[in-house]
Structure 1
Amino acid sequence: MTIIPIGHSLSSLSRWRKLPPMMKTSSPAALVRGPADHEVRDQIVLAATEHFSRYGYEKTTVSDLAKAIGFSKAYIYKFFESKQAIGEMICANCLSKIETEVKAAIDQADRPPEKLRRMFKAVVELSLQLFSQDRKLYEIATSAATERWLSTLAYEERVRIMLRGILEEGRQSGDFERKTPLDETVMAIYLVLRPFLHPLILQHSLDYTEDAPGQLSSLVLRSLSP
């Protein structure tokens, strides 16, 4: 649940925004090799997901994967530069599913306040689902969060973009105040969500996940009142 893993501080966001264009737009795709679309790469990712689920990410080597998949180690390296590159693809796939469902939840609402409520609810529920359905894959999420993989950084940025879109719409409709700088508001709300995006923090917030989405979104909406 980025996953997704998943979060960094205000100062790290500033550094992220100041990165050179090539680094800022990097993605897990930058860590893969060969043709953009290739059936073998998909087979490797699927097999690696199953293998990590059974034996864990940290304990698995590329040699282990090669033996389990039936490919040579050298052949796997034709498509991925490292075990982390494979983990990045798995992580990106999981976070993409969360993002798609969060967007779907937001789109079901007509007005910005309800969109924000639905976003909070969906983010918490889907993160819990991702991080609890498979404890071995949870290791990938924690590695991604701890080591700040590109897949999680990109996901965090897209979450902030979704927030920005809701806030801009709410300011235009008159539902939200306009005095606070937009960037400041986006980051503040993101930091409220952060404990439920980051797998290492989420595991210490399980007692609050049922009530948190409603209570936190209500608090945020009161602060946004014009």
Structure 2
Amino acid sequence: MGVKLSAMTTATTNNGPTRGPADHDVRDQIVTAATAHFRLYGYEKTTVSDLAKAIGFSKAYIYKFFESKQAIGEQICATCLLEIETDVRAAVDGAEGAPEKLRRLFKTIVASSMRLFFEDRKLFDIASSAASERWDSAQRYELRIQGVLTDILRLGRDNEDFERKTPLDETVSAIYLVLRPYLNPLLLQYSFDSVDHAPAQLSSLVLRSLSR
């Protein structure tokens, strides 16, 4: 049984700005219809008017629940990113020791991101917009992944698996830069040729740099 790290026990998301009545059924209906519409036509090509027509609501009624198309996209994006984060936390929690947790982090982020973003090309439009426009859902996701990484490094330092001389925040920042091309969908699409071997090679390189 792997040691569970404190920051890995709960994954929370803020699903973007909402407004109006707290009617979750209607919100869910809008998001479900929007997801289906985005899958057919893409996020950029879909307007709130298109969604209103598809659902059978007025555009004004949709605006009672979401302030913009981006707010709907934020909720869909947050759900997609939570799937990746859930995979990552499960893989890391199931590993023994900080070195293996770090290897699992690299491997799972790449595999889950590839599966989620590229098996559904239309939803990739949403992920791309989230990354390029720095949506809150994407930024919060990146911060939570950095939190997972921070916990792994703390565990490794406490167990004397990793060196302690370099400031922790500096180490987290450097390793995150190595991970970032596989977290950001705009960068990930240019990394197809390396996804089979990159996680193992990069995690091994990082672990050598962390050795005492």
Judge same fold: TM > 0.5, yes or no: yes
One of 162, 167, 176 as aligned partner of 1:190 = 176
Q: Distance in 1 between matches of 2:22 and 2:157?
A: 40
Q: Which runs of 4+ in 1 moved over 3 A?
A: 26-29, 34-37
Q: Distance in 1 between matches of 2:174 and 2:21?
A: 40
Q: How far does residue 39 in structure 1 lie from its aligned partner after superposition? A: 1.0
Aligned to 1:69: 55
Aligned to 1:9: none
Q: Does 1:91 align with 2:80?
A: no
Alpha-carbon displacement from aligned partner over 1:143-195 (angstroms, at most 9, x marks no partner): 11110000000000001000000000000000000000000000111100000
One of 30, 35, 50 as aligned partner of 1:49 = 35
Alpha-carbon displacement from aligned partner over 1:32-66 (angstroms, at most 9, x marks no partner): 11355611101111110010000111111000000
Q: Does 1:109 align with 2:95?
A: yes
Q: Distance in 2 between matches of 1:112 and 1:182?
A: 15
Distance 1:112 1:132, change over 3 A: same
Check the 8 A contact 2:21/2:64 in 1, yes or no: no
Letter paired with 2:195:
T
Q: Distance in 2 between matches of 1:193 and 1:122?
A: 11
Q: Does 1:81 align with 2:67?
A: yes
Higher relative contact order (CA 8 A, sep 6+): 1
Q: Does 1:205 align with 2:187?
A: no
Q: Distance in 1 between matches of 2:19 and 2:42?
A: 24
Aligned to 1:33: 19
Q: 3-state DSSP class of the match of 1:57?
A: coil
Q: Percent identity?
A: 69
Aligned to 1:163: 149
Alpha-carbon displacement from aligned partner over 1:171-222 (angstroms, at most 9, x marks no partner): 0000000000000000111100000011111111100000000000000000
Letter paired with 1:67:
K
Q: 3-state DSSP class of the match of 1:174?
A: coil
One of 116, 131, 139 as aligned partner of 1:153 = 139
Alpha-carbon displacement from aligned partner over 1:1-56 (angstroms, at most 9, x marks no partner): xxxxxxxxxxxxxxxxxxxxxxxxx9443x11135561110111111001000011
Q: 3-state DSSP class of the match of 2:67?
A: coil
Q: Distance in 2 between matches of 1:165 and 1:64?
A: 44
One of 103, 127, 130 as aligned partner of 2:116 = 130
Alpha-carbon displacement from aligned partner over 1:75-130 (angstroms, at most 9, x marks no partner): 11111000000000000000011101100000111100000000100000001011
Letter paired with 2:27:
R
